Structure 1
């Protein structure tokens, strides 16, 4: 694994994408930054982070995805890599809020942004961005945000966590074909609010009750509705209210 450390950058994802467009970059190359000026989350949301306090990283993944219908497999791998790593530090009540938020109880502690590009050969190159709140103690105007330090009342080694996450990603990808079913089953079990009644809002801002049953092979959230039907939703089509 090659590690590139930066002090400040607009976006680690943009830096790594630009670098890999200019030259051949080793698989699982990681870019980290102490300060990210234009961090972004899902659907263009801004990702704010106090300088030097949190883990801001992007990792290049090649030679894993070869089919557009299978791109969510990488979400499964990365989400589980983060969950597995944080469990080693006894972070309580960890879960994945579909599709890419990392939760501890009802607090968001991290977010994943995966950007895929198709090369001329048809292979898919992925840049996996992860923001993880590690040692930040204050979150102004972000009542649902927290950090490992706040939750556990202790400071953590950001780089140690980084190496743990990337090692988990590499190991899962190396043996993915043999354990894909087990990983999907593990991912489903880690879903936030899995199997319990929850409130949702659809794209028309209509509220409804449902129960999360899982995620489809292409990454759609499967919700059991009150009429006993199961409906599948894309990212922009549903929002959990909690």
Structure 2
């Protein structure tokens, strides 16, 4: 396993993407940076992180030998791998906020940005960006954010945390490759944040509505029970969970 350590870069995803286009990158090559100047999150969001306090890294996963029926399997494997790694450090009440934020209790501690590499209309790999709040203890204007240190009081070794996540990524991608998609999906649904609890959502037009998260489709759409006992499906651009 190759780990490239940088003092600073624009974004570890962007760095790995550039590297992947210029040379042959080994499976599970990881890029770690003490500081990102243009860290990115889902839907174009900016990922802010204090230098050397948190784990900001990206991993290249070779998918050329996979037969993926749906790209959502990648998100399942990644979310569950991070959760399993954090469980080993006794982080309490871990859940997945759809599609792949990791929460402890009800605070966001980890975000994921997955960018698939497509060649000749087929997915040949994924660049998996992971931002884990580890030892940072102040998050200005982010009331829903927290860190492992804030939750447990413990200072963590970033390298140790990265290796734990990388090891679990290998385990869960092996499960995905062996055809355990439905088992991974069932485990993912079992730890979905606010599953079967009355929740408020905002649709693409900005209107609020109430419903109950029931699960996800095989393609990763969120399944919400709304009024009149109807289950509606939403993709990432169509709905936001308002806690």
TM-score, scaled to structure 2: 0.96
Offset from partner CA, 1:64-107 (integer Å, 9 cap, x none): 6544x511101000000110011111111111111121111111
* Contact 2:78–2:172 (8 Å) recurs in 1: no
Match of 1:227 in 2: 228
**Superposition pairs for residues 64-143 of structure 1, below 5 Å?**
65-67=66-68, 70-120=70-120, 122-143=122-143
* Contact 1:66–1:123 (8 Å) recurs in 2: no
SS of equivalent residue, structure 2 residue 134: coil
Measure, in 2, the Cα distance between the counterparts of 1:123 and 1:45. 24
Measure, in 1, the Cα distance between the counterparts of 2:142 and 2:123. 39
Gaps of 5+ in 1: none
SS of equivalent residue, structure 1 residue 128: strand
SS of equivalent residue, structure 1 residue 199: strand
**Superposition pairs for residues 1-242 of structure 1, below 5 Å?**
1-63=1-63, 65-67=66-68, 70-120=70-120, 122-176=122-176, 177-242=178-243
How many positions carry a matched residue from both structures? 241
Measure, in 2, the Cα distance between the counterparts of 1:144 and 1:208. 21
Gaps of 5+ in 2: none
Measure, in 2, the Cα distance between the counterparts of 1:65 and 1:10. 30
Offset from partner CA, 1:188-218 (integer Å, 9 cap, x none): 1111101111111111111111010111111
